[in-house]
Amino acid sequence: QVQLVESGGGEVQAGGSLTLSCTVSTWTSNSYFVAWFRQAPGKPQRKGVACIMVPDGSLWYTDSVVDRFTISQDNTKNTVVLQMNNLEPEDTGIYFCAADFRPGMRLAAESYKYWGQGTQVTVSS
């Protein structure tokens, strides 16, 4: 049973930074994808923010976070980190990490089978 556990998050003022971590346990494949999704307040959709192929290192970002967010991997800890800089109020939401062997679309929520519990990020203006 694959489990994803997120940590990090919190509240920060606009322009600040936060770091989210996602630890993936009991993965049986040598290669997989991990992505971060944001669910904005009052909205059911989960929008893809960033994705990384483990251990290959290929990256994907949604346009709104390019040059502000960085996704990376720590293979020794089976952890994927999302570093978020220059945060904006529009970045507020619940952030979920998700994993799958071969997601059809790297930043589409419906492509991912395994999900973490989510962590709250609040950016105040």
Least confident of 44-53, 55-64, 72-81: 72-81
Angle at 98 between CA 95 and CA 104, to 5 degrees: 125
Check pLDDT > 80 for residue 48: yes
Check pLDDT > 80 for residue 77: no
Buried b (16+ CB within 10 A) or exposed e, 49-70: bbbbbbeeeeebbbeebeeebb
What is residue 31's predicted lDDT score, i.e. its pLDDT?
A: 87
Average pLDDT over residues 101-123: 96
For the chain, the 3-state helix, strand and coil shares in percent, each to the nearest 5, are 10, 55, 40
Q: What are the pLDDT digits (tens) for 31-41?
A: 899 999 999 99
What is residue 4's predicted lDDT score, i.e. its pLDDT?
A: 95
The amino acid occupying position 69 is F
| Confidence tier at 97 by pLDDT (50, 70, 90) | very high
What is residue 29's predicted lDDT score, i.e. its pLDDT?
A: 73
pLDDT, the chain, mean: 94
Strand 79-84 and strand 93-100: pairing?
Answer: unpaired
State whether residue 67 is helix, strand or coil. coil
